Structure formats: C-alpha cells, structure tokens
C-alpha cells in the first residue's frame, strides 16, 4: 500500500520559511546571554554531579575495604574467650606437671593460636603499668596504687588493626598506696 502525500499548503510553506530565517538582531542579543547563563548553570550542575559521583566511588571503595578488613571481627571476637580459657588452663598447671610433653603440646597450641590471631591483625592491648585510657580499657575496680595507673589486668583486651574489639578489663589505682 502506497502512502499518499498531502500537498503542502501555503501556510505550511510560510511556517517552514520562518523557522529557517534567523531571528531579528534585537532578540538575538537577549537570547545569547540567557542561553550562556543557562549553559553555565548546566555545566556547574554537571561538574557537581561528577564530583559527587567521584566521592561516592571513593566512599564505597573505602567501605568495601573496611568490610574486608573487619568482616571477620565477629568470628575473632568469638574465638577470644577460647584463647582466654586456654591461657588460664596453662597458668593453672601445677609446677610438677609443667615439663610433661602434653603440657608443652598445649602450650604450643596456645602459641600457634595467638600467632594466627596476630597474622589476622589482632593485637593485645597493653595494660599493667600503663595509664588508664577509657578508649581501650574498662575499669572494673579502684584499688590502692598510683592514681590513674593500671594496677592489675582482670581480662585481656584486644584490637583488630586500629579498632578495639574487646576492651581490657582492669583495676585502676585510686592514689592511695
């Protein structure tokens, strides 16, 4: 089926001719500054959007790195009580049994366990003889000793890289000796 072409009437021809003709010079002078300011506005918006996108990409990359870095923190936190129990068991072995091969084997397991945690970024928080720091220590007792100094460690504390995953529970000196 063939499409029929409608004959163009004179009004259509006149409209097309006006569209092709440049606008008169008075209108052109007004339109250019307006168009320039609008173009600059669009360019500024585009630049802001581009900067926002770059910042978004950096932020998501940083979040991804932190997720990878600290993703195992819950597992590591669950393993710390096992390490504590193992260390308490080794500390309570009587003197006459300390040289037995099975005790040495358990001591070796404890050292491997500790070194494995260290390779994963877990570090022990220093306590005894240190000044009390509420960011890494949790005070459980005030006892006789130097004011603000840690006198005794009640439970070991650990950091994962630079974050505290378990604060050290300590007894702090109250200034009375």
pLDDT-derived band of residue 22, with 50, 70 and 90 as boundaries? Answer: low
Q: Is 160 strand, coil or helix?
A: strand
- Taking a C-beta distance cutoff of 8 angstroms, is the pair 122, 76 a contact? yes
Query: So what's the pLDDT on residue 28?
Result: 53
- What does pLDDT average to over the chain? 85
Beta bridge partners of 153: 170
Interatomic CA distance for residues 150 and 109, integer angstroms: 30
What average pLDDT does this structure show over 95-109?
92
Query: So what's the pLDDT on residue 20?
Result: 56
Query: So what's the pLDDT on residue 67?
Result: 87
CATH number of 71-173: 3.30.70.1070, 2.30.22.10, 3.90.420.10, 3.40.47.10? 2.30.22.10
Lowest-pLDDT range, 18-27, 94-103, 127-136, 164-173?
18-27
Dihedral of CA atoms 50, 53, 58, 59 in degrees, nearest 10, equals: 140
Q: What is the pLDDT of residues 108-158, one digit of tens each?
A: 999 999 999 999 999 999 998 899 999 999 999 999 888 889 999 999 999
Query: Domain coordinates of the chain in residue numbers?
Result: 33-70, 71-173
Share of the chain above pLDDT 90, in %: 60
More confident residue, 33 or 18: 33
Where does the chain have alpha helices with state H? 10-20, 25-70, 73-91, 101-119
Write the CB contacts of 132 (distance below 8 Å, at least 6 apart in sequence): 139, 148, 149, 150, 170, 172
pLDDT-derived band of residue 31, with 50, 70 and 90 as boundaries? Answer: low
What average pLDDT does this structure show over 77-92?
93
């Amino acid at each position: 089926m063939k499409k029929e072409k409608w004959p163009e009437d004179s009004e259509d021809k006149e409209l097309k001719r006006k569209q092709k003709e440049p606008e008169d010079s008075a209108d052109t002078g007004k339109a250019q500054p307006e168009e320039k300011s609008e173009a600059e506005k669009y360019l500024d918006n585009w630049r802001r959007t581009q900067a926002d996108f770059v910042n978004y990409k950096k932020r998501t990359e940083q979040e991804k790195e932190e997720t990878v870095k600290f993703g195992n923190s819950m597992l590591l936190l669950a393993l710390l009580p096992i390490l504590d129990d193992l260390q308490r068991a080794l500390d309570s072995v009587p003197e006459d049994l300390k040289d037995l091969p099975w005790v040495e084997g358990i001591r070796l397991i404890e050292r491997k366990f500790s070194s494995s945690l260290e390779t994963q970024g877990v570090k022990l928080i220093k306590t005894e003889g240190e000044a009390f720091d509420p960011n890494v220590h949790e005070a459980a007792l005030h006892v006789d000793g130097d004011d603000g100094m840690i006198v005794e460690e009640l439970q070991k504390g650990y950091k994962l890289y630079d974050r505290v995953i378990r604060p050290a529970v300590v007894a702090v000196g109250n200034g009375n000796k």
